[in-house]
Amino acid sequence: MAATASERKRQAIAGAALALFARDGYERTTVDAIAAQAGVSKRTVYSHYGDKEQLFMLVVRDTYELMRERFAEAADTTLRDTDDVEKSLVSCLREVVRAVTQTPERARLVRLVMAELPRFPALAGLWQGRGLTPLLAAPIARLAAAGLLTADDPMEAAGHLSALTLGQINNHSMMGTVAVSEAEADRIITSGVRVFLCAYGPRR
């Protein structure tokens, strides 16, 4: 279904706000500048988002939620029906990296949250208990129930898998602010999954 004119304006405002907040910081970014970059009136910005602080918080939240949705979709699609758990985990994490960690929005979001967290401590709540790792727990639980993994605690297993793969890519990319080649990401994912399966592979 095509986006309505109102939805397109809201998306344009959100994209402009995220880019400007990340580049110039909250204090120096004006609603006038956001409106100009989005190609809408200042009044339109206020009608969609209220004041500048509310715009900032909603844009950060909505951008993060979009990334969680992409992650969940990738995990569900690649891990739902499989009989080759290693291949499927590698495929899943490749798709996650492609869909989430290498997008410009992700790097902007990370820079923005790190810079503005002292001013907006409520931003920490986006990650506390709601990060990407918990989204792996349900697929891991399904794989364990099918006998393809040994994971008595799927959440703990998801944390280990994330640390061995996405965590390593985060370290190499400075939380998404430095580009990591597809070949390097693939190497990290493949080796991380193999180490994970040494601990969580099916019992023989």
Query: What domains sit in the chain, N to C, each tagged with a CATH number?
Result: 1-50 (1.10.10.60), 66-200 (1.10.357.10)
**Interatomic CA distance for residues 183 and 24, integer angstroms:** 33
Tokens of 173: 């990319």
Tokens 């364990």 map to which residue?
144
Of the chain, the end-to-end C-alpha distance in Å amounts to 49
Query: How many alpha carbons lie under 13 Å from residue 19 in its C-beta half-sphere?
Result: 14
Burial of 35 (0-12, 13-18, 19+ CB in 10 A): buried
- Most distant pair of Cα atoms in the chain: their distance: 65
Contact 57, 122 (CB under 8 A): yes
Instruction: Determine the length of the chain.
Output: 204
**Interatomic CA distance for residues 178 and 166, integer angstroms:** 14
Please give the pLDDT value at position 177: 60
Contact 97, 169 (CB under 8 A): yes
One digit per residue, the tens of pLDDT, for the chain of length 204 reads: 557 888 889 889 998 998 999 889 999 999 999 999 999 999 999 999 989 999 999 888 888 888 888 888 888 888 888 889 999 999 989 988 877 666 677 778 878 888 888 999 888 877 776 677 888 898 999 999 999 999 999 999 999 999 999 888 888 766 556 677 889 989 999 999 999 999 999 876
Per-residue pLDDT reduced to its tens digit, 19-42: 999 889 999 999 999 999 999 999
Q: DSSP string covering 18-30, please?
A: HHHHHHHHHHH--
DSSP 150: -
Query: How many alpha carbons lie under 13 Å from residue 186 in its C-beta half-sphere?
Result: 5
